[in-house]
Structure 1
Amino acid sequence: MAQERTASRRIMVVFGTRPEAIKLFPVIAALKEADGLEPVVLVTGQHREMLDQVLEIAGLVPDHDLALMQPGQSLDEISARLLTGIGGVLDAEKPDMVIVQGDTATAMCGALAAYYRKIPVAHVEAGLRSGNIYHPWPEEANRKIIGSFADLHFAPTDTAANALRREAVADDRILVTGNTVIDALHWVTAQLADNPSRAGVIAPVEARFAGKRIIGVTTHRRENFGSGMDDIAHAIRDLAARDDVAIIFPVHLNPQVRAAMLPILGGLDNVALLEPLDYLNFTRLLQIAELMLTDSGGVQEEAPALGKPVLVMRDTTERPEGVAAGTAMLVGTDRTTIVTQASRLLDDAAAYAAMAQAHNPFGDGQSSARICAAITEWFSVNGASQPD
């Protein structure tokens, strides 16, 4: 005889990378506080070291850890292992709903495994579109796949919600929540205010560069591998030639990123090439930086919340709200363009103020609460029924 379910709906939260963990730990915390909802946490270990940093900071112990990270695995290899690994956990746990976030292989395979079992899927950060399935690659295709069958679409902005409507997603399945990364950022900045020593990794670098104008850098996008990464590295070296500037660059663990950056930037006195920072230390970098150079999606949302301009080293962005609001600017990977636009912000106070003081369109820190309320409402309407 099958064991009866408790009154709580069991919500499996699936993630495997550092950005996913950052954007989902506030959702997990809100699920724990919500009446009638019980989170079950599954991590895939897609980005092992960087993922573990966030789990430790957030005090999260996963219920399931697939530990799927292997060096040099191809996209099809990791996708196959994700799909079967997540599927096995779903078969054992039989959750009432699966939550995925964003556009990673883990998110796509988690949603697809749930869909194969007719388990409802909720997509956090839904509706982001660049309009080009190869920029960013493969993320643009991943999020379109998830969007084709998700039951709940938690769009961070009106722009994202409208993109879903253009793809014929019904209005009653879309909720504009803001982005959960702002929830996470509020939590972390409060932690740093209470105990600044928690950013102990960045502290000696901050002291070393006292009196300098800090430029923070992150880069890791696959579509920039090759000549794009080389151009980014040379642009950073050009900016480091300024006497008033210092560069703090947590270098991604991907070997192709390191092979491009370390030979060109290693050994420069005013360039600190760091191992990937945990979220507390990275937030401190955002606080002390004058501006950010990045090809990351999350930084486009986080930095404006702290009043820091963002130069996006990509040709397209699925976050056009930041560009429209004036908090971010697309500069691509062209060496001259990066240097010119960064120098303009450093030398033109009015241009800097226009970006630094622009309204951040990405949220108010209450996104996770809205998500939990919407899930509760969904179950009140749909009960335990599977999707048609």
Structure 2
Amino acid sequence: YSCNPVIKQGCKNTQCKGCDVSYGIIFLLGLATNGLALRRLCASACAMNSTAVYMASLSFADMFFVISLPMRIYYHHQKARAWTKTGDLAGWNPGAAFCQITFILKYISLYGGIFFLVCIAVDRYFAVVHPLAPALRRQRVALAVSGGIWCVVLGLSVSLPLLRLAASRQNQPCLLNPSSLRHRTFILVSLGLVLGSFLLPTLVLIYSYCKVLSVLRKSRKRCPRQRRSRRQTLKIIYWVLGVYLLCFLPYHVNLLGYTLTHVKLLPHCGLVRLTKTVHPVVLSLASFNCCLNPLIYYFSSSLVHREYRRDVCKVRGSSKSARNILKDFIQLLTDAKYPFLSCERSSRRFGQAARE
């Protein structure tokens, strides 16, 4: 049998309108949240540490996808018009350049975001599990790592064969990952790169946060403030892991099934229909991550709030050196692992204030 009618079927009018609405909401929310996050980071540029460097890179990566959303909205709008007028999606062809740019922006944002989320996880791993080894958390190291990640992501996004094959067939929608039996090898290699770019970072991220959770659970909080801070930190980590897996895991599982059915390795029409039907939903979930990242990492974390309040230069003309800022930040993270030191210092300060 053949699944070609199912494979060639594109989004219908209602589906395209649904994509327009979801992308429009994500565009507005992503522009607002990432814009505010970047503004906040720029305001504390004088106190830029490793965490802030990775967060800024994450916001820039999310912004790439936000910028690409108007192009996707235009694509679905034109396809909906073609379907309404002629009943055939091939009535409008976006062209190779349009598809290239759209795919490049998508992969830069998607996998750049994943890599920088992993960098933040590893950064917090060293901060909590190995707080006395700050060499890997210096600003220069973070800048070098971020620069290397940008180079890797740009190289992968431009060189993926899927980008060159995106507009190779007029009857294939360029915003759906195309395939052809003649290009099976290239498609499978691309699939391996894409899944590898997700699976390996995901394992690192889960390991890092599991170690952080283990340390935080074992620590005994003697001060009510420290116990409250630990509960908030644990809650944030659970949210980070949950949102990450919810946004990215369904997309990559569906991508695996979608690609294998299209190269005839899983020639099952039911699976073809399922992957095509679910594709807009899982893609919207992955896209929505660009709105959630700033909310979690910039506006919901009490640790980040304290870090910024301590690091940001609130008084003009402040001569606080980067070395002192780094010492303060290391002290904050040392308190996170050895809370009794913080409690003892607080008690000493309280005793001194009482004597005065």
Relative to the length of structure 1, the TM-score reads 0.25
* Higher RCO, Cα 8 Å, sep 6+: 2
Name the structure with the higher helix share.
2
Name the structure with the higher strand share.
1
Relative to the length of structure 2, the TM-score reads 0.26
